[in-house]
Chains A and B, each alone.
Chain A
Amino acid sequence: MVKKTIEEINAKIKAGKAVVVTAEELIPMVKEQGVAETAQNVDVVTTGTFGPMCSSGAFFNLGHPKPRIKMAKVLLNGVEAYTGVAAVDVYLGATQIPETDPANKNFPGEFNYGGGHVLEDLVKGKEVLLEATAYGTDCYPRKKLEKMIRLDELPQAILFNPRNAYQNYNVAVNLSDRTLYTYMGILKPNLGNANYSSAGQLSPLFNDPYYRVTGPGTKIFLGGGVGFVSWNGTQHNPGAPRDAHGVPTAPAGTLAVIGDLKQMSPRWLRGVSFLGYGVSLMVGLGVPIPVIDEDMIRCAAVSDSEIFAPVVDYSESYPQGLGEVLTTVSYAELRSGEINVNGKKVPAAPLSSYYGARQIAQILKEWIMDGKFLLTAPAFNIPLAGGISDYQGLVFSDSDPARGCHNA
Protein backbone atom coordinates (compact mmCIF):
# COMPACT_ATOMS: atom_id res chain seq x y z
CA MET A 1 0.00 0.00 0.00
CA VAL A 2 1.34 3.38 -1.01
CA LYS A 3 1.39 6.00 1.75
CA LYS A 4 2.93 9.46 1.37
CA THR A 5 2.86 12.39 3.73
CA ILE A 6 2.48 15.95 2.54
CA GLU A 7 5.97 16.64 3.95
CA GLU A 8 7.42 13.90 1.75
CA ILE A 9 5.61 15.26 -1.29
CA ASN A 10 6.79 18.81 -0.51
CA ALA A 11 10.39 17.56 -0.22
CA LYS A 12 10.06 16.11 -3.72
CA ILE A 13 8.56 19.37 -5.02
CA LYS A 14 11.48 21.35 -3.56
CA ALA A 15 13.95 18.93 -5.14
CA GLY A 16 12.19 19.36 -8.48
CA LYS A 17 11.36 15.65 -8.53
CA ALA A 18 7.63 15.62 -7.90
CA VAL A 19 5.47 14.04 -10.58
CA VAL A 20 2.43 16.24 -11.18
CA VAL A 21 -0.43 15.52 -13.56
CA THR A 22 -3.80 17.16 -14.14
CA ALA A 23 -6.98 15.31 -13.18
CA GLU A 24 -7.66 14.88 -16.88
CA GLU A 25 -4.22 13.44 -17.64
CA LEU A 26 -4.58 11.04 -14.72
CA ILE A 27 -7.57 9.20 -16.19
CA PRO A 28 -5.76 7.34 -19.01
CA MET A 29 -2.75 6.75 -16.74
CA VAL A 30 -4.86 4.85 -14.21
CA LYS A 31 -6.54 2.90 -17.01
CA GLU A 32 -3.14 1.78 -18.31
CA GLN A 33 -1.08 1.35 -15.17
CA GLY A 34 -3.71 0.62 -12.55
CA VAL A 35 -4.31 2.36 -9.24
CA ALA A 36 -1.36 1.01 -7.23
CA GLU A 37 1.32 1.80 -9.78
CA THR A 38 -0.09 5.26 -10.55
CA ALA A 39 -0.23 6.06 -6.82
CA GLN A 40 3.42 5.05 -6.60
CA ASN A 41 4.41 7.25 -9.56
CA VAL A 42 2.25 10.35 -9.21
CA ASP A 43 2.65 12.79 -6.30
CA VAL A 44 0.15 15.52 -7.05
CA VAL A 45 -3.02 15.77 -9.16
CA THR A 46 -4.15 19.26 -10.13
CA THR A 47 -7.76 20.30 -10.67
CA GLY A 48 -9.44 23.44 -11.95
CA THR A 49 -12.72 25.17 -12.54
CA PHE A 50 -13.62 28.49 -14.16
CA GLY A 51 -17.27 29.41 -13.89
CA PRO A 52 -19.72 31.98 -12.62
CA MET A 53 -19.69 31.88 -8.82
CA CYS A 54 -22.23 34.33 -7.42
CA SER A 55 -21.20 33.97 -3.78
CA SER A 56 -17.99 35.92 -4.28
CA GLY A 57 -16.73 39.33 -3.30
CA ALA A 58 -13.93 41.22 -1.63
CA PHE A 59 -13.18 43.05 1.57
CA PHE A 60 -11.39 46.37 1.09
CA ASN A 61 -9.71 48.68 3.48
CA LEU A 62 -10.06 51.93 1.56
CA GLY A 63 -7.57 53.88 3.69
CA HIS A 64 -8.28 56.94 5.81
CA PRO A 65 -8.39 60.40 4.29
CA LYS A 66 -7.57 63.46 6.39
CA PRO A 67 -9.71 64.21 8.30
CA ARG A 68 -10.90 60.67 8.94
CA ILE A 69 -14.26 59.22 7.94
CA LYS A 70 -16.55 56.42 9.15
CA MET A 71 -18.10 55.47 5.85
CA ALA A 72 -21.84 54.82 6.06
CA LYS A 73 -22.56 54.48 2.38
CA VAL A 74 -19.99 53.56 -0.25
CA LEU A 75 -20.32 53.33 -4.01
CA LEU A 76 -17.58 51.93 -6.23
CA ASN A 77 -18.28 52.95 -9.84
CA GLY A 78 -21.87 53.38 -8.68
CA VAL A 79 -22.10 49.88 -7.16
CA GLU A 80 -22.85 49.82 -3.45
CA ALA A 81 -20.48 48.09 -1.04
CA TYR A 82 -21.49 46.98 2.46
CA THR A 83 -20.18 49.28 5.20
CA GLY A 84 -21.45 47.66 8.38
CA VAL A 85 -17.90 46.93 9.51
CA ALA A 86 -15.11 49.24 10.71
CA ALA A 87 -14.75 52.84 9.48
CA VAL A 88 -13.11 52.39 6.06
CA ASP A 89 -13.60 48.63 5.66
CA VAL A 90 -16.21 47.56 3.12
CA TYR A 91 -17.34 44.37 1.38
CA LEU A 92 -18.21 44.48 -2.30
CA GLY A 93 -20.36 41.56 -3.46
CA ALA A 94 -20.14 40.17 -6.98
CA THR A 95 -23.88 40.27 -7.67
CA GLN A 96 -24.53 43.85 -6.51
CA ILE A 97 -25.97 46.04 -9.26
CA PRO A 98 -25.83 49.85 -9.41
CA GLU A 99 -28.79 51.64 -7.83
CA THR A 100 -29.38 53.30 -11.18
CA ASP A 101 -29.65 50.00 -13.05
CA PRO A 102 -33.21 49.54 -14.36
CA ALA A 103 -32.87 45.83 -13.40
CA ASN A 104 -35.80 43.87 -14.79
CA LYS A 105 -38.11 46.87 -15.25
CA ASN A 106 -37.58 46.48 -18.97
CA PHE A 107 -37.62 42.68 -19.01
CA PRO A 108 -35.26 40.99 -19.59
CA GLY A 109 -32.76 43.43 -18.06
CA GLU A 110 -29.27 43.51 -19.52
CA PHE A 111 -27.26 43.97 -16.31
CA ASN A 112 -24.20 45.24 -18.09
CA TYR A 113 -22.27 46.26 -14.98
CA GLY A 114 -22.10 45.33 -11.32
CA GLY A 115 -19.95 44.13 -8.44
CA GLY A 116 -18.21 41.43 -10.48
CA HIS A 117 -17.23 44.01 -13.09
CA VAL A 118 -15.87 46.41 -10.45
CA LEU A 119 -13.67 43.57 -9.15
CA GLU A 120 -12.48 42.84 -12.68
CA ASP A 121 -11.77 46.54 -13.32
CA LEU A 122 -9.76 46.76 -10.10
CA VAL A 123 -7.58 43.74 -10.89
CA LYS A 124 -7.11 45.15 -14.39
CA GLY A 125 -5.49 48.16 -12.69
CA LYS A 126 -8.24 50.54 -13.81
CA GLU A 127 -9.21 53.57 -11.76
CA VAL A 128 -12.53 53.20 -9.97
CA LEU A 129 -14.66 56.05 -8.59
CA LEU A 130 -15.12 55.86 -4.83
CA GLU A 131 -18.02 57.87 -3.39
CA ALA A 132 -18.48 57.72 0.36
CA THR A 133 -20.81 59.54 2.71
CA ALA A 134 -20.95 59.49 6.49
CA TYR A 135 -22.92 60.98 9.37
CA GLY A 136 -19.80 62.26 11.10
CA THR A 137 -18.58 61.59 14.64
CA ASP A 138 -16.09 63.23 16.99
CA CYS A 139 -13.46 60.70 16.02
CA TYR A 140 -14.46 60.53 12.33
CA PRO A 141 -15.59 64.05 11.40
CA ARG A 142 -15.56 63.86 7.58
CA LYS A 143 -18.94 63.45 5.91
CA LYS A 144 -18.09 63.06 2.25
CA LEU A 145 -15.31 61.63 0.12
CA GLU A 146 -15.06 61.35 -3.63
CA LYS A 147 -11.92 60.16 -5.38
CA MET A 148 -10.52 57.80 -7.96
CA ILE A 149 -8.87 54.73 -6.46
CA ARG A 150 -6.62 52.01 -7.85
CA LEU A 151 -6.14 48.54 -6.39
CA ASP A 152 -2.41 49.00 -5.83
CA GLU A 153 -3.01 52.11 -3.70
CA LEU A 154 -5.40 50.42 -1.27
CA PRO A 155 -4.00 49.23 2.05
CA GLN A 156 -5.73 45.83 1.79
CA ALA A 157 -7.96 44.02 -0.67
CA ILE A 158 -8.98 40.48 0.20
CA LEU A 159 -11.08 38.29 -2.04
CA PHE A 160 -13.37 36.28 0.20
CA ASN A 161 -15.90 34.04 -1.48
CA PRO A 162 -18.34 32.34 0.88
CA ARG A 163 -19.36 29.69 -1.64
CA ASN A 164 -17.28 28.50 -4.57
CA ALA A 165 -16.37 25.24 -6.29
CA TYR A 166 -19.75 23.51 -6.01
CA GLN A 167 -19.37 19.76 -6.01
CA ASN A 168 -21.82 19.03 -8.80
CA TYR A 169 -24.71 21.18 -9.93
CA ASN A 170 -28.08 21.07 -11.64
CA VAL A 171 -28.53 20.89 -15.37
CA ALA A 172 -31.16 23.53 -16.10
CA VAL A 173 -33.96 23.00 -18.64
CA ASN A 174 -37.27 24.68 -19.37
CA LEU A 175 -40.49 22.66 -19.75
CA SER A 176 -42.71 25.73 -20.16
CA ASP A 177 -43.64 27.44 -23.40
CA ARG A 178 -41.90 30.75 -22.71
CA THR A 179 -38.19 31.66 -22.67
CA LEU A 180 -36.67 31.81 -19.19
CA TYR A 181 -33.85 34.14 -18.15
CA THR A 182 -32.02 32.57 -15.21
CA TYR A 183 -28.69 32.44 -13.42
CA MET A 184 -28.22 29.30 -15.51
CA GLY A 185 -28.46 31.41 -18.65
CA ILE A 186 -31.21 31.65 -21.27
CA LEU A 187 -33.45 28.58 -21.30
CA LYS A 188 -35.47 28.23 -24.46
CA PRO A 189 -39.04 26.90 -24.17
CA ASN A 190 -40.08 23.27 -24.52
CA LEU A 191 -36.70 21.77 -23.67
CA GLY A 192 -34.97 24.02 -26.21
CA ASN A 193 -31.61 23.68 -24.47
CA ALA A 194 -29.95 22.36 -21.33
CA ASN A 195 -27.36 24.50 -19.50
CA TYR A 196 -24.87 23.09 -17.02
CA SER A 197 -22.03 24.54 -15.00
CA SER A 198 -19.25 22.28 -13.78
CA ALA A 199 -15.86 21.23 -15.04
CA GLY A 200 -16.83 17.62 -14.22
CA GLN A 201 -13.76 15.40 -14.07
CA LEU A 202 -11.50 18.47 -13.65
CA SER A 203 -13.57 20.09 -10.91
CA PRO A 204 -11.82 20.14 -7.50
CA LEU A 205 -14.35 18.42 -5.25
CA PHE A 206 -15.17 15.67 -7.74
CA ASN A 207 -11.56 14.58 -7.33
CA ASP A 208 -11.62 14.67 -3.53
CA PRO A 209 -15.24 13.64 -2.93
CA TYR A 210 -14.83 13.08 0.81
CA TYR A 211 -12.80 16.27 1.42
CA ARG A 212 -9.80 14.35 2.76
CA VAL A 213 -7.19 16.83 1.55
CA THR A 214 -9.35 19.87 0.81
CA GLY A 215 -10.23 21.87 3.89
CA PRO A 216 -9.38 25.01 5.84
CA GLY A 217 -5.76 25.86 5.18
CA THR A 218 -5.43 24.05 1.84
CA LYS A 219 -3.41 26.29 -0.48
CA ILE A 220 -5.05 26.76 -3.87
CA PHE A 221 -4.98 28.64 -7.18
CA LEU A 222 -7.46 31.49 -6.80
CA GLY A 223 -8.20 34.09 -9.45
CA GLY A 224 -4.72 33.72 -10.90
CA GLY A 225 -3.00 34.16 -7.53
CA VAL A 226 -2.52 32.02 -4.47
CA GLY A 227 -5.36 31.61 -2.02
CA PHE A 228 -6.58 29.26 0.67
CA VAL A 229 -9.66 27.26 1.49
CA SER A 230 -10.99 28.97 4.61
CA TRP A 231 -14.00 26.83 5.56
CA ASN A 232 -16.70 24.76 3.97
CA GLY A 233 -18.85 27.05 1.87
CA THR A 234 -22.43 28.16 2.48
CA GLN A 235 -25.00 25.53 1.44
CA HIS A 236 -22.32 22.86 1.97
CA ASN A 237 -24.42 19.71 1.70
CA PRO A 238 -22.19 16.67 2.08
CA GLY A 239 -25.27 14.49 2.68
CA ALA A 240 -26.43 14.79 -0.95
CA PRO A 241 -27.05 11.40 -2.59
CA ARG A 242 -23.88 9.66 -3.78
CA ASP A 243 -23.33 6.84 -6.21
CA ALA A 244 -21.47 3.62 -5.42
CA HIS A 245 -18.13 5.40 -5.96
CA GLY A 246 -18.99 8.15 -3.49
CA VAL A 247 -19.52 10.75 -6.19
CA PRO A 248 -22.47 13.05 -5.37
CA THR A 249 -25.28 12.96 -7.92
CA ALA A 250 -26.72 16.31 -6.80
CA PRO A 251 -25.26 19.65 -5.64
CA ALA A 252 -23.18 18.71 -2.58
CA GLY A 253 -20.03 20.15 -0.98
CA THR A 254 -18.87 23.75 -1.38
CA LEU A 255 -15.79 25.73 -0.36
CA ALA A 256 -15.32 29.16 1.17
CA VAL A 257 -12.05 30.59 -0.16
CA ILE A 258 -9.84 33.56 0.55
CA GLY A 259 -6.88 35.25 -1.11
CA ASP A 260 -5.04 38.50 -1.76
CA LEU A 261 -6.92 40.30 -4.53
CA LYS A 262 -3.80 42.26 -5.43
CA GLN A 263 -2.11 39.10 -6.73
CA MET A 264 -5.01 38.19 -8.96
CA SER A 265 -5.51 38.55 -12.68
CA PRO A 266 -8.42 39.80 -14.80
CA ARG A 267 -8.01 36.65 -16.84
CA TRP A 268 -9.35 34.58 -13.94
CA LEU A 269 -11.74 37.06 -12.32
CA ARG A 270 -14.33 38.17 -14.84
CA GLY A 271 -17.48 40.20 -14.37
CA VAL A 272 -20.35 38.53 -16.23
CA SER A 273 -23.94 39.51 -17.10
CA PHE A 274 -26.89 37.16 -17.22
CA LEU A 275 -29.78 38.52 -19.26
CA GLY A 276 -32.88 38.98 -17.12
CA TYR A 277 -31.08 37.77 -14.00
CA GLY A 278 -28.18 39.93 -12.93
CA VAL A 279 -24.41 40.09 -12.66
CA SER A 280 -21.89 37.65 -11.28
CA LEU A 281 -18.19 36.90 -11.21
CA MET A 282 -16.41 34.14 -13.07
CA VAL A 283 -13.80 32.78 -10.71
CA GLY A 284 -10.84 30.62 -11.66
CA LEU A 285 -10.03 28.15 -8.91
CA GLY A 286 -7.74 25.13 -8.75
CA VAL A 287 -6.98 22.73 -5.93
CA PRO A 288 -3.88 20.51 -5.81
CA ILE A 289 -4.51 17.00 -4.57
CA PRO A 290 -1.57 15.32 -2.84
CA VAL A 291 -1.51 11.59 -3.54
CA ILE A 292 -1.38 10.46 0.09
CA ASP A 293 -2.51 6.92 -0.71
CA GLU A 294 -4.07 4.71 -3.37
CA ASP A 295 -7.55 5.76 -2.43
CA MET A 296 -6.70 9.32 -3.38
CA ILE A 297 -5.78 8.15 -6.88
CA ARG A 298 -8.93 6.06 -7.12
CA CYS A 299 -11.00 9.15 -6.33
CA ALA A 300 -9.08 11.54 -8.56
CA ALA A 301 -9.26 9.17 -11.54
CA VAL A 302 -13.01 9.72 -11.81
CA SER A 303 -14.03 10.53 -15.37
CA ASP A 304 -16.92 12.45 -16.94
CA SER A 305 -18.75 9.23 -17.85
CA GLU A 306 -18.88 8.30 -14.13
CA ILE A 307 -20.19 11.65 -12.86
CA PHE A 308 -23.92 12.32 -13.03
CA ALA A 309 -25.88 15.54 -12.68
CA PRO A 310 -29.61 16.03 -12.05
CA VAL A 311 -31.69 17.64 -14.80
CA VAL A 312 -34.08 20.17 -13.24
CA ASP A 313 -36.95 22.16 -14.73
CA TYR A 314 -36.38 25.87 -14.08
CA SER A 315 -39.91 26.86 -15.07
CA GLU A 316 -41.53 25.09 -12.11
CA SER A 317 -39.48 22.68 -10.00
CA TYR A 318 -36.54 25.00 -9.22
CA PRO A 319 -38.35 28.32 -8.59
CA GLN A 320 -41.06 26.59 -6.52
CA GLY A 321 -38.50 24.55 -4.61
CA LEU A 322 -40.18 21.25 -5.49
CA GLY A 323 -36.93 19.32 -5.73
CA GLU A 324 -38.10 17.22 -8.68
CA VAL A 325 -35.44 15.71 -10.89
CA LEU A 326 -36.41 14.89 -14.48
CA THR A 327 -33.50 12.55 -15.10
CA THR A 328 -29.78 12.32 -14.50
CA VAL A 329 -27.14 12.61 -17.20
CA SER A 330 -23.39 12.11 -17.19
CA TYR A 331 -20.90 14.89 -17.80
CA ALA A 332 -19.65 12.89 -20.78
CA GLU A 333 -23.11 13.21 -22.34
CA LEU A 334 -23.28 16.90 -21.42
CA ARG A 335 -19.88 17.59 -22.90
CA SER A 336 -20.86 15.81 -26.13
CA GLY A 337 -23.30 18.71 -26.65
CA GLU A 338 -26.54 16.73 -26.55
CA ILE A 339 -28.52 14.99 -23.82
CA ASN A 340 -31.74 13.03 -23.76
CA VAL A 341 -34.60 14.34 -21.61
CA ASN A 342 -38.09 12.78 -21.69
CA GLY A 343 -37.15 11.05 -24.93
CA LYS A 344 -36.18 14.32 -26.59
CA LYS A 345 -32.71 15.23 -27.82
CA VAL A 346 -31.74 18.49 -26.15
CA PRO A 347 -28.66 20.58 -27.07
CA ALA A 348 -26.46 21.11 -24.01
CA ALA A 349 -24.24 24.12 -23.33
CA PRO A 350 -21.85 24.86 -20.50
CA LEU A 351 -21.73 28.13 -18.56
CA SER A 352 -18.45 27.19 -16.96
CA SER A 353 -15.40 27.13 -19.18
CA TYR A 354 -13.88 23.66 -19.49
CA TYR A 355 -11.07 25.17 -21.52
CA GLY A 356 -10.36 27.58 -18.65
CA ALA A 357 -10.52 24.75 -16.09
CA ARG A 358 -7.99 22.78 -18.11
CA GLN A 359 -5.67 25.80 -18.28
CA ILE A 360 -5.89 26.37 -14.52
CA ALA A 361 -5.02 22.73 -13.78
CA GLN A 362 -2.10 23.12 -16.18
CA ILE A 363 -0.87 26.39 -14.60
CA LEU A 364 -1.09 24.91 -11.10
CA LYS A 365 0.84 21.89 -12.32
CA GLU A 366 3.60 24.15 -13.67
CA TRP A 367 3.76 26.15 -10.43
CA ILE A 368 4.26 22.94 -8.49
CA MET A 369 6.77 21.47 -10.93
CA ASP A 370 8.74 24.73 -10.82
CA GLY A 371 8.98 24.35 -7.03
CA LYS A 372 7.07 27.64 -6.55
CA PHE A 373 4.01 26.15 -4.93
CA LEU A 374 4.21 23.85 -1.91
CA LEU A 375 1.21 21.97 -0.61
CA THR A 376 -0.46 22.43 2.75
CA ALA A 377 -2.60 19.96 4.65
CA PRO A 378 -6.00 21.12 5.83
CA ALA A 379 -5.99 22.20 9.48
CA PHE A 380 -9.05 19.98 9.90
CA ASN A 381 -11.60 18.31 7.67
CA ILE A 382 -14.80 20.03 6.60
CA PRO A 383 -17.99 18.17 7.54
CA LEU A 384 -19.00 14.92 5.94
CA ALA A 385 -22.51 13.54 5.70
CA GLY A 386 -24.53 12.87 8.83
CA GLY A 387 -23.74 16.25 10.32
CA ILE A 388 -20.36 15.04 11.60
CA SER A 389 -18.54 18.29 12.02
CA ASP A 390 -14.89 18.16 12.89
CA TYR A 391 -14.97 21.72 14.13
CA GLN A 392 -17.65 21.23 16.75
CA GLY A 393 -15.25 20.09 19.43
CA LEU A 394 -11.98 21.35 20.74
CA VAL A 395 -10.02 18.38 19.46
CA PHE A 396 -9.83 17.94 15.72
CA SER A 397 -9.80 14.29 14.82
CA ASP A 398 -7.55 12.85 12.15
CA SER A 399 -9.16 11.96 8.89
CA ASP A 400 -11.76 9.33 9.65
CA PRO A 401 -12.15 6.03 7.76
CA ALA A 402 -15.57 7.07 6.41
CA ARG A 403 -13.75 9.34 3.98
CA GLY A 404 -12.34 6.46 1.94
CA CYS A 405 -13.13 6.36 -1.75
CA HIS A 406 -13.68 2.63 -2.06
CA ASN A 407 -14.09 1.18 -5.45
CA ALA A 408 -17.51 -0.35 -5.12
Chain B
Amino acid sequence: MKEKMVLYFPPTVTEQPFIYYLIKDFNLLVNILKADINPRMEGRLVVEIGGEKADFAAGLDFLQGRGVKAFPLEQEIIWVEERCTQCGACTVICPAGALHLDRVTMQISFSGDKCVVCEHCIKACPSRAMEARF
Protein backbone atom coordinates (compact mmCIF):
# COMPACT_ATOMS: atom_id res chain seq x y z
CA MET B 1 0.00 0.00 0.00
CA LYS B 2 0.97 3.61 -0.48
CA GLU B 3 -0.44 6.63 1.30
CA LYS B 4 0.25 10.34 1.67
CA MET B 5 0.54 11.38 5.30
CA VAL B 6 1.15 14.57 7.25
CA LEU B 7 3.46 14.14 10.24
CA TYR B 8 3.61 16.72 13.02
CA PHE B 9 6.66 16.74 15.25
CA PRO B 10 6.62 18.52 18.62
CA PRO B 11 9.75 20.66 19.28
CA THR B 12 11.21 18.07 21.63
CA VAL B 13 11.59 15.43 18.94
CA THR B 14 12.42 17.37 15.77
CA GLU B 15 16.05 16.29 15.92
CA GLN B 16 15.43 12.57 15.95
CA PRO B 17 15.92 10.58 12.71
CA PHE B 18 12.41 9.10 12.45
CA ILE B 19 12.50 8.69 8.71
CA TYR B 20 15.65 6.62 9.00
CA TYR B 21 13.92 4.28 11.51
CA LEU B 22 10.83 3.98 9.33
CA ILE B 23 12.97 2.81 6.43
CA LYS B 24 15.42 0.64 8.34
CA ASP B 25 13.25 -0.95 11.04
CA PHE B 26 9.87 -1.08 9.34
CA ASN B 27 10.90 -1.74 5.78
CA LEU B 28 8.88 1.20 4.46
CA LEU B 29 9.51 3.42 1.44
CA VAL B 30 9.35 7.06 2.44
CA ASN B 31 9.20 9.89 -0.05
CA ILE B 32 9.30 13.40 1.44
CA LEU B 33 6.97 15.73 -0.46
CA LYS B 34 7.23 18.78 1.74
CA ALA B 35 9.04 19.69 4.95
CA ASP B 36 9.00 22.70 7.18
CA ILE B 37 9.80 23.72 10.74
CA ASN B 38 7.89 26.65 12.19
CA PRO B 39 9.37 29.37 14.46
CA ARG B 40 8.25 27.42 17.55
CA MET B 41 10.45 24.57 16.28
CA GLU B 42 7.53 22.30 15.49
CA GLY B 43 8.11 20.26 12.36
CA ARG B 44 5.65 19.29 9.64
CA LEU B 45 6.43 16.69 7.01
CA VAL B 46 4.27 15.67 4.12
CA VAL B 47 5.37 12.19 3.07
CA GLU B 48 4.31 9.35 0.89
CA ILE B 49 4.75 6.06 2.71
CA GLY B 50 4.70 2.75 0.89
CA GLY B 51 5.10 -0.84 2.08
CA GLU B 52 3.27 -3.84 3.50
CA LYS B 53 0.10 -3.09 5.39
CA ALA B 54 1.38 -4.58 8.65
CA ASP B 55 4.66 -2.66 8.41
CA PHE B 56 2.75 0.50 7.69
CA ALA B 57 0.59 0.09 10.82
CA ALA B 58 3.60 -0.77 12.96
CA GLY B 59 5.50 2.23 11.63
CA LEU B 60 2.64 4.55 12.50
CA ASP B 61 2.37 3.03 16.00
CA PHE B 62 6.08 3.62 16.46
CA LEU B 63 5.75 7.29 15.43
CA GLN B 64 2.75 7.90 17.63
CA GLY B 65 4.49 6.25 20.58
CA ARG B 66 7.26 8.84 20.21
CA GLY B 67 4.89 11.81 20.23
CA VAL B 68 4.66 12.29 16.47
CA LYS B 69 1.13 12.92 15.24
CA ALA B 70 0.29 11.32 11.89
CA PHE B 71 -2.74 12.08 9.72
CA PRO B 72 -3.65 11.03 6.23
CA LEU B 73 -3.14 13.94 3.78
CA GLU B 74 -6.45 15.31 2.76
CA GLN B 75 -5.22 18.69 1.78
CA GLU B 76 -6.97 20.50 -0.95
CA ILE B 77 -6.82 23.95 -2.41
CA ILE B 78 -9.94 26.06 -2.16
CA TRP B 79 -10.84 29.02 -4.34
CA VAL B 80 -12.71 31.57 -2.20
CA GLU B 81 -14.81 33.11 -4.92
CA GLU B 82 -16.00 36.12 -2.91
CA ARG B 83 -12.41 37.19 -2.30
CA CYS B 84 -11.42 36.72 -5.94
CA THR B 85 -11.29 39.97 -7.90
CA GLN B 86 -11.11 38.09 -11.22
CA CYS B 87 -7.76 39.70 -11.94
CA GLY B 88 -6.15 36.71 -13.60
CA ALA B 89 -2.69 37.03 -12.03
CA CYS B 90 -2.78 33.39 -10.91
CA THR B 91 -3.20 32.00 -14.41
CA VAL B 92 0.50 32.26 -15.28
CA ILE B 93 1.53 30.94 -11.87
CA CYS B 94 -0.49 27.72 -11.79
CA PRO B 95 1.58 24.95 -13.40
CA ALA B 96 -1.41 22.64 -13.84
CA GLY B 97 -3.89 24.82 -15.68
CA ALA B 98 -6.28 24.57 -12.73
CA LEU B 99 -6.90 28.31 -12.73
CA HIS B 100 -8.35 29.38 -16.03
CA LEU B 101 -9.32 32.78 -17.42
CA ASP B 102 -12.15 32.65 -19.93
CA ARG B 103 -11.09 35.12 -22.62
CA VAL B 104 -14.65 36.04 -23.52
CA THR B 105 -16.27 36.53 -20.11
CA MET B 106 -12.85 37.45 -18.59
CA GLN B 107 -13.85 35.41 -15.52
CA ILE B 108 -11.69 32.98 -13.59
CA SER B 109 -12.62 29.40 -12.91
CA PHE B 110 -10.91 26.84 -10.72
CA SER B 111 -10.82 23.11 -11.51
CA GLY B 112 -9.99 21.26 -8.32
CA ASP B 113 -9.42 18.01 -10.23
CA LYS B 114 -6.55 19.55 -12.21
CA CYS B 115 -4.92 21.04 -9.10
CA VAL B 116 -1.71 19.32 -8.01
CA VAL B 117 -1.68 21.11 -4.62
CA CYS B 118 1.65 22.82 -5.33
CA GLU B 119 0.41 25.83 -3.29
CA HIS B 120 2.09 28.36 -5.62
CA CYS B 121 -1.17 30.29 -6.02
CA ILE B 122 -1.66 30.82 -2.27
CA LYS B 123 0.99 33.51 -1.98
CA ALA B 124 0.78 34.63 -5.59
CA CYS B 125 -2.88 35.65 -5.39
CA PRO B 126 -2.89 39.34 -4.39
CA SER B 127 -6.35 39.04 -2.81
CA ARG B 128 -5.52 35.86 -0.91
CA ALA B 129 -8.44 34.09 -2.53
CA MET B 130 -6.67 30.71 -2.64
CA GLU B 131 -6.54 28.70 0.57
CA ALA B 132 -5.20 25.34 1.63
CA ARG B 133 -7.52 23.14 3.67
CA PHE B 134 -6.80 19.87 5.37
Residues of A within 8 A of B (CB): 50-52, 110, 112, 185-186, 188, 192-193, 195, 270, 272-275, 280, 282, 335-337, 347-356, 358
* Distance, CA A351 to CA B103, complexed state (A): 15
B127 near A270: Cβ-Cβ < 8 Å = yes
B85-A195 in contact (CB<8A) = no
Chain B residue with minimal CB distance to A358?
Answer: B106
Contact A110 B123, beta carbon cutoff 8 Å: yes
Min distance, Cβ B66 to any Cβ of chain A, angstroms: 30
Give the residue name and chain of the A residue nearest to B99 (CB): A349
Minimal Cβ-Cβ distance residue in B for A352: B87
With A273-B126, A275-B124, A354-B106: A349-B92 Cβ-Cβ less than 8 Å: yes
List the B side residues contacting A50 at CB < 8 Å.
85
Across the interface, do B85 and A186 meet the contact criterion of CB distance under 8 Å?
Answer: no
Q: Give the residues in chain A near B106, CB-CB below 8 Å.
A: 335, 353-355, 358
Which residues of the other chain, B, contact A51 by a CB distance below 8 angstroms? Answer: 87
Contact with A along B92-109 (1 / 0, CB 8 A): 110000000101011100
A52 CB contacts on chain B under 8 angstroms: 126
With A195-B89, A347-B92, A349-B88: A355-B128 Cβ-Cβ less than 8 Å: no
Flag if A272 contacts B91 (CB, 8 Å). Answer: no
Please give the distance in Å from A397's CB to the nearest CB on chain B: 40
User: A185–B88 contact, CB under 8 A?
Assistant: no
Interface string of B80-92 (1 = CB under 8 A from A): 0000011111111
In the assembled complex, the Cα of A111 lies from the Cα of B91 at a distance in Å of: 21
Distance from A382 Cβ to chain B, minimum over Cβ atoms (Å): 28
Task: For B91, list chain A residues within 8 Å (CB).
Answer: 337, 347, 349
Chain A hits for B107, CB < 8 A: 355
Write the nearest CB–CB distance from A290 to chain B, whole angstroms.
27
B interface SS class: loop
CB atoms of A356 and B85 under 8 A apart? yes
In whole angstroms, what is the CA distance A349 to B103 when docked? Answer: 11
Contact yes or no, A270 B89, CB < 8 A: no
- Bound CA span A9–B103, Å: 34
How many residues of chain B have a CB within 8 Å of chain A?
19
Number of A-B contacts (CB under 8 A): 71
| B128 adjacent to A273 (CB under 8 Å) | yes
Q: Shortest 6 CB-CB distances between A and B: which pairs?
A: A272-B126, A193-B92, A355-B86, A349-B92, A354-B106, A355-B106
Give complex CA distance A282, B128 in Å: 13
Instruction: Establish whether residues A348 and B92, one from each chain, have CB atoms under 8 Å apart when the complex forms.
Output: yes
Contact A350 B89 (CB under 8 A): yes
Evaluate contact between B85 and A337: CB separation under 8 angstroms.
no
| CB-based contact A335/B85 at 8 Å | no
Chain B: residues with CB nearer than 8 A to chain A?
A: 85-93, 101, 103, 105-107, 123-124, 126-128
| A354 partner residues in chain B, CB cutoff 8 A | 86, 88, 106
- Nearest chain B CB to A124's CB is how many angstroms away? 12
The docked-state distance in angstroms from the alpha carbon of A195 to that of B105 is: 19
Instruction: Give the shortest distance, in Å, between B112 (CB) and chain A (any CB).
Output: 21
Please name all residues of chain B whose beta carbon is closer than 8 Å to the beta carbon of A335 when the two chains form the complex.
103, 106
Q: Give the chain B neighbours of A273 by CB distance below 8 A.
A: 126, 128
State the CA gap A356–B124 with chains docked (Å).
19
5 residue pairs from A and B, CB less than 8 Å apart:
A110-B123, A186-B93, A275-B124, A282-B126, A353-B88
Q: Contacts A112-B128, A195-B92, A272-B127 hold; do A336 and B85 have CB atoms under 8 A apart?
A: no
A326 vs B106: C-alpha distance in the bound complex, in angstroms?
Answer: 27
Instruction: Quote the shortest CB–CB distance from B20 to chain A (angstroms).
Output: 29
Q: A185-B124, A186-B124, A336-B103 are in contact. Are A353 and B86 (CB under 8 A)?
A: yes
Seed contacts A272-B127, A275-B124, A349-B92; 8 additional CB < 8 Å A-B pairs: A52-B126, A112-B128, A186-B124, A270-B85, A274-B126, A282-B87, A350-B89, A354-B88
Of all chain B residues, which has the CB nearest A186? B124
Docked-complex contact A351 and B87, CB < 8 angstroms: yes
The minimal Cβ–Cβ distance linking B70 to chain A, given in whole angstroms, is 28
Q: Are B93 and A350 in touch, CB under 8 angstroms?
A: no
User: Known: A112-B128, A358-B106. Is A275-B123 also a contact (CB below 8 A)?
Assistant: yes
Within 8 Å CB of B88, what residues of A?
349-351, 353-354
Name the residue of chain A whose CB is nearest to the CB of B107.
A355
* Bound-complex Cα distance A356 to B126 (A): 15
Indicate which residue in B87, B93, B128 contacts A353 across the interface (CB closer than 8 Å): B87
Beyond A185-B89, A282-B85, whether A351 also contacts B123 by CB under 8 A is: no
Residues of B within 8 A of A195 (CB): 89, 92
Known: A193-B92, A195-B92, A337-B103. A350 touches B87 (CB 8 A): yes
> Which residue of chain A lies nearest to B91 when distances are taken between CB atoms in the complex?
A349
Of all chain A residues, the one with the shortest Cβ separation from B86 is A355
Q: Which residues of B contact A275 (CB under 8 A)?
A: 123-124
Closest beta carbon of chain B to A15's beta carbon, Å? 34
Which one, B101, B105, B126, B128, contacts A351 given CB within 8 A? B126
Instruction: Report the bound CA distance from A51 to B88 in whole Å.
Output: 11
Q: Which residue of B lies closest to A113 (CB)?
A: B128
